[in-house]
């Protein structure tokens, strides 16, 4: 009986509490907001890979730097589109003034449109959506990264040599762009650079390691490795090291890990190209939007940067938030 | 305790944890963090639908003492198939029927394996979980999109209530009637209560098993329709770990993994509990990693409350 009574009390308190909540809500809403700091929310697709872990760390740092002016909350969707949609919907209940979002995929299109239609600025970080209903998209330029990496490799080889390319996830935008940029440059500017090996290793160190080990058993002749990310460059360099093969040029992309910079300093990797984190710029734009600035370009490209033995130490000093 | 109250509690076991959650929400209600608004109801209704529908099918399976670990992968397969049909230009009703049939077929295969082989359901559906995820990626290695607005009828609102929620409640009501008022429903409980006793009482144990896994498959088909509507694409890597959310909802709703005990209404309440919890964590601004950590003990406490009730 005791339990039943408790249950009944609980049930009865539901509508009462509900009304109470509503009443206080309407009473307060006119008085409070001006005193409260505007809320900026950030929805992250996942925090699993090193690049996104640094992305998150930089976002937190940028939010803390503006902590006097804004309230900030972030949430991560563990790589699940539906979870991210639900999280954005939940964020909406808190009346945010700006939504920063790194969408999992085009699945987030509808909910971003919904937010935008409510008059809340939507700042896309990295990936895009299939709609024009967003304020701006801040991202690195993967095609340009491909071009610069290709040029760097060709120059290191004095314009003549053979390259093995380790590609990321098949048909992913980043993969296609990093590949196309490189192929264009070699085709147009360096007629004596040839691609002799080509494999998709899904951006994974383990897969690149396995593939390169198997590939080396065929005693291939090549001068350089271009990997679409650092994890795969590390995997390839591990295979080379195991076979005691030196003197190859190994170039990756991302520059978000301490390990990569260490390997550049030790000579296992030759260079990497920064895939820039949109966190800092994203927060900067959020602050501009809060100040009422209107002239935000629809697309903001972030510059890449070469990191090799000549500037590795400086890069470390400039980027304290690198992943381990 | 008098009989009607006891009966009522047994029917709606999931209610206790939900009431507790609502009480906590009420205690922490403020102008800034308002749980009690219509928007919350709409949010939860839309968000609970996919895993809620899967959990209803899971309830049938668990009531027979089985388990279906393949529902997440199956949901991905059906979503990708549905998205492919949409891209091919089929009308929505044909796509929807196709998706339900696809789910039913995959569920039936699970059921036949469970009923006619000595392998445990856990192992069989673990195997289908792996294979179906592979199948999803083979059907399409990439997300399938490019049919904006086609699935909008499943995102619409009727009298201000999201269609997904109406479908879920309709499904729960149908399942409730089937389980409580039909011979088939009694068979499901009988198989879960004691398979041997059920067989001696002329209960068709094998066909009942095939049936519950088929029902689970059909529910996955419906959930996939709602998922595609929500994300406007089919994702071979989607619906990861949805089997765990569904199982959690079923056990919070008062079902026993041993079979024979539980109800779909409990499952619905369990699903709503899980979704409300997720929403509240965000509303209260609890850091996402901490929220994930807290989810475990909260589920255990919720289940403990149910077990206490059953004694």
Residue A22 above 70 pLDDT? no
Give residues 82 to 111 of A whose Cβ lies within 8 Å of B: 82, 85-87, 89-94, 105-107, 109-110
Tokens of B249: 């909802």
CB nearest A93 (choices: B43, B232, B237): B43
Q: What is the pLDDT of residues A137-187, one digit of tens each?
A: 999 999 999 999 999 999 999 999 999 999 998 777 889 999 999 999 999
3-state secondary structure of B67: coil
Share of residues in chain A with pLDDT > 90 (%): 75
Tokens of B78: 């059906």
Which pLDDT score, from 0 to 100, does residue B184 have?
Answer: 94
Q: Look up the pTM and report it.
A: 0.81
Residue B200 above 70 pLDDT? yes
Residue B228 above 80 pLDDT? yes
| Cβ proximity of A167 and A179 under 8 Å | yes
Q: Distance between CA atoms of A218 and A222, rounded to whole angstroms?
A: 12
Residue B9 above 90 pLDDT? no
Which pLDDT score, from 0 to 100, does residue B301 have?
Answer: 85
Which pLDDT score, from 0 to 100, does residue B31 have?
Answer: 67
Tokens of B255: 């079902």
| Cβ proximity of B187 and B204 under 8 Å | yes
Which pLDDT score, from 0 to 100, does residue A57 have?
Answer: 92
Q: How confident is residue A25, by pLDDT bands cut at 50, 70 and 90? A: very low
Three-state DSSP string of chain A? CHHHHHHHHHHHHHHHHHHHHHHHHHHHHCCCHHHCCCEEEEEECCCCCHHHHHHHHHHHHHHHHCCCCCEEEEEECCCCHHHHHHHHHHHHCCCCCEEEEECCCHHHHHHHHHHHHCCCCEEEECCCCCCCCCCEEEEECHHHHHHHHHHHHHHHCCCCEEEEEEECCCCCHHHHHHHHHHHHHHHHHCCCEEEEEEEECCCCHHHHHHHHHHHHCCCCCCCEEEECCHHHHHHHHHHHHHCCCCCCEEEEEECCEHHHHHHHHHCCCCEEEECCCCHHHHHHHHHHHHCCCCCCCCEEEECCCEEECCCHHHHHHHCCCCEC
The residue that leads in pLDDT, A97 or B23, is A97
Kindly determine whether residue B143 and residue A82, on different chains, have CB atoms separated by under 8 Å. Answer: no
Residue A3 above 70 pLDDT? no
**Closest C-alpha among A169, A24, A34 to residue B28:** A24
Averaged pLDDT, B142-150 = 88
Which pLDDT score, from 0 to 100, does residue A66 have?
Answer: 95
Rg, C-alpha atoms of chain B: 19
Which pLDDT score, from 0 to 100, does residue B164 have?
Answer: 94
Tokens of B75: 């949901």
Averaged pLDDT, B194-204 = 90
**Closest C-alpha among A88, A76, A73 to residue A48:** A76
Residue B273 above 80 pLDDT? yes
C-alpha separations of A256 from A127, A137, B167 in Å: 18, 21, 46
The pLDDT mean for chain B works out to: 90
Which contiguous run of DSSP H or E holds residue B39?
helix B38-63
Kindly determine whether residue A107 and residue B37, on different chains, have CB atoms separated by under 8 Å. Answer: no
Which pLDDT score, from 0 to 100, does residue A114 have?
Answer: 95
Q: What is the pLDDT of residues B69-91, one digit of tens each?
A: 999 999 999 999 999 999 999 99
Which pLDDT score, from 0 to 100, does residue B132 have?
Answer: 97
Q: Which residues of B touch A18 (CB under 8 A)?
A: 26, 36
3-state secondary structure of B229: helix
Q: Distance between CA atoms of B46 and A90, rounded to whole angstroms?
A: 11
CB nearest B34 (choices: A25, A36, A87): A25
Which contiguous run of DSSP H or E holds residue B296?
helix B288-310
Tokens of B141: 């290695």
| Cβ proximity of B82 and B228 under 8 Å | yes
| Cβ proximity of A307 and A274 under 8 Å | yes
**Which of the residue ranges A2-6, B6-10, B131-135 has the most confident prediction, judged by mean pLDDT?**
B131-135
3-state secondary structure of B76: helix
Give me the phi and psi of B29, to 5 degrees please: -65, 135
Kindly determine whether residue B1 and residue A4, on different chains, have CB atoms separated by under 8 Å. Answer: yes
The pLDDT mean for chain A works out to: 87
Which pLDDT score, from 0 to 100, does residue B37 have?
Answer: 80
Residue B150 above 50 pLDDT? yes
Q: What is the pLDDT of residues B40-51, one digit of tens each?
A: 888 888 889 999
Which pLDDT score, from 0 to 100, does residue B10 have?
Answer: 58
Which pLDDT score, from 0 to 100, does residue B239 have?
Answer: 93
Q: What is the pLDDT of residues B113-144, one digit of tens each?
A: 999 999 999 999 999 999 999 999 999 988 89
Tokens of B219: 């529910």
| Cβ proximity of A261 and A307 under 8 Å | yes
A14 Cβ under 8 Å from any chain B Cβ: yes
Task: Pick the residue of B288, B290, B308 with the most A CBs within 10 A to test the interface with A by mutation.
Answer: B288
By CA distance, what is A18's nearest residue in B? B36
**Which of the residue ranges A10-14, A203-207, B77-81, B301-305 has the most confident prediction, judged by mean pLDDT?**
B77-81
Averaged pLDDT, A70-84 = 92
Which pLDDT score, from 0 to 100, does residue A9 have?
Answer: 38
Q: Distance between CA atoms of B62 and B258, rounded to whole angstroms?
A: 8
C-alpha separations of A33 from A28, A251, A265 in Å: 9, 51, 52
């Amino acid at each position: 009986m005791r339990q039943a009574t408790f249950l009944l009390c609980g049930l009865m308190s539901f509508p009462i509490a509900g009304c109470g909540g509503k009443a206080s809500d309407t009473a307060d809403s006119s008085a409070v907001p001006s005193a409260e700091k505007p809320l900026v929310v950030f929805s992250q697709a996942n925090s699993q890979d090193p690049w996104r872990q640094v992305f998150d760390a930089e976002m937190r740092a940028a939010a803390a730097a503006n902590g006097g002016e804004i309230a900030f909350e972030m949430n991560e969707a563990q790589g699940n589109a539906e979870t991210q949609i639900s999280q954005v919907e939940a964020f909406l209940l808190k009346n945010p003034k700006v939504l920063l979002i790194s969408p999992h995929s085009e699945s987030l299109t509808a909910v971003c449109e919904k937010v935008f239609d409510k008059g809340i600025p939507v700042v896309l970080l990295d990936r895009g959506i299939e709609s024009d209903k967003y304020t701006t998209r801040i991202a690195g330029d993967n095609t340009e990264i491909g071009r610069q990496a290709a040029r760097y490799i060709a120059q290191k080889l004095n314009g003549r040599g053979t390259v093995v390319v380790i590609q990321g996830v098949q048909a992913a935008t980043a993969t296609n762009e990093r590949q196309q940029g490189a192929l264009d440059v070699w085709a147009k500017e360096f007629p004596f650079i040839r691609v002799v090996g080509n494999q998709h290793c899904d951006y994974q160190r383990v897969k690149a390691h396995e593939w390169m080990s198997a590939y080396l058993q065929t005693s291939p002749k090549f001068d350089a490795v271009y990997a679409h990310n650092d994890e795969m460059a590390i995997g390839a360099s591990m295979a080379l090291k195991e076979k005691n093969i030196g003197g190859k040029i190994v170039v990756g992309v991302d520059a978000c890990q301490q390990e990569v910079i260490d390997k550049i300093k030790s000579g296992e990797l030759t260079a990497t190209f920064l895939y820039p984190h949109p966190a800092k710029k994203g927060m900067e734009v959020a602050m501009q939007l809060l100040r009422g600035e209107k002239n935000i370009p629809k697309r903001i490209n972030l510059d890449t940067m070469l990191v090799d033995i000549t500037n590795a130490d400086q890069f470390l000093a400039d980027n304290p938030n690198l992943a381990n | 305790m008098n009989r009607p109250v006891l009966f009522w509690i047994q029917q709606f076991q999931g209610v206790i944890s939900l009431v507790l959650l609502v009480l906590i929400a009420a205690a922490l209600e403020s102008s800034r963090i308002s749980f009690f608004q219509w928007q919350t109801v709409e949010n939860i209704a839309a968000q609970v639908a996919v895993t809620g529908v899967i959990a209803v099918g899971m309830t049938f399976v668990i009531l027979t003492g089985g388990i279906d670990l393949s529902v997440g992968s199956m949901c991905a397969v059906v979503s990708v198939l549905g998205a492919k049909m949409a891209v091919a230009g089929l009308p929505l009703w044909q796509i929807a029927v196709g998706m339900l049939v696809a789910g039913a077929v995959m569920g039936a295969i699970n059921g036949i394996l469970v009923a006619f082989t000595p392998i445990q359901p856990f192992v069989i559906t673990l195997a289908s979980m792996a294979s179906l995820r592979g199948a999803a990626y083979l059907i399409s290695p990439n997300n399938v999109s490019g049919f904006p607005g086609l699935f909008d009828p499943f995102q619409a609102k009727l009298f201000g209530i999201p269609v997904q929620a109406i479908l879920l409640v309709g499904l729960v009501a149908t399942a409730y009637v089937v389980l409580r008022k039909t011979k088939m429903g009694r068979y499901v409980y009988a198989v879960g209560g004691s398979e041997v006793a059920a067989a001696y009482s002329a209960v068709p144990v094998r066909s009942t098993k095939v049936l519950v896994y088929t029902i689970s498959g059909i529910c996955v088909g419906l959930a996939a329709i709602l998922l595609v509507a929500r994300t406007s694409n089919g994702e071979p890597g989607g619906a990861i770990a949805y089997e765990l959310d569904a199982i959690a909802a079923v056990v919070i709703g008062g079902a026993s993994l041993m079979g024979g005990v539980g109800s779909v209404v409990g499952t619905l309440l369990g699903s709503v509990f899980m979704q409300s919890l997720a929403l509240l964590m965000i509303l209260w601004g609890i850091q996402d990693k901490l929220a994930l950590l807290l989810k475990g003990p909260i589920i255990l406490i919720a289940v403990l409350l149910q077990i206490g009730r059953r004694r």
